[in-house]
A and B are shown apart, each in its own frame.
Chain A
Amino acid sequence: MDVALLFKIAGVGIIVAVMATVLKQAGKDEQGQMVTLVGVLLVLMMVVSLLGKFFSLVRSTFMFQ
């Protein structure tokens, strides 16, 4: 649980953005879309696990059963 996750997400985002731009320039729009989709899913997986941790912590802090 530390700040590295933030940089990981930002890194994935920047790499995906660059790759999508390059693929678009090369005229491969579909591959660019796929790369974007994969990046979003990858980040979503990290964010969902973090969000689950966050919600369970809120639940235990404020005494929900």
Chain B
Amino acid sequence: MSTVDTSLFTPELVFFDFEATDRFDFFSKMSKILMEKGYVKESWLDAIETREKNYPTGLAFEHISVALPHVDPEHLIKPYIAVIKPKEPVIFEGMAGIGGDIPAELIVNLGLLAHAEGQVAVLQALMGVFMEEETVADIRAQTTPEGMAETMKKYCA
């Protein structure tokens, strides 16, 4: 397995108590932030709405429900991973129709370039992190952007 590129986790893209009425509101607010910071192109917003509609990314793990919205790399300027803890869970549809509506307590927006293997490895690592009760508890306990980015790096490495 390739080495996980944990440098993609950055405090600059960790958000707590993020307010969003639904996933469309969430995407619209994220798009403004990500464009301002120079991570995505203007086309990102349409792309992620369409992608999430066609291929939903809500996943119900035993100890946490998450969503992993992502788009094809042509809408990115540079790779990133954003970790967002919404104030209230945001409803996503379940991946492959499993679990119906998923109230996501944590949203990990993957801005990955297709052929960088270290980045696909991040996804694999994340799956392992969300499956374990202890790591989920540690992630839930984080209250600062620095702490969250470090915790993610630690468990995904």
The answer on A and B forming one complex is no
Q: Footprint of A on B, CB under 8 Å?
A: none
Q: Footprint of B on A, CB under 8 Å?
A: none
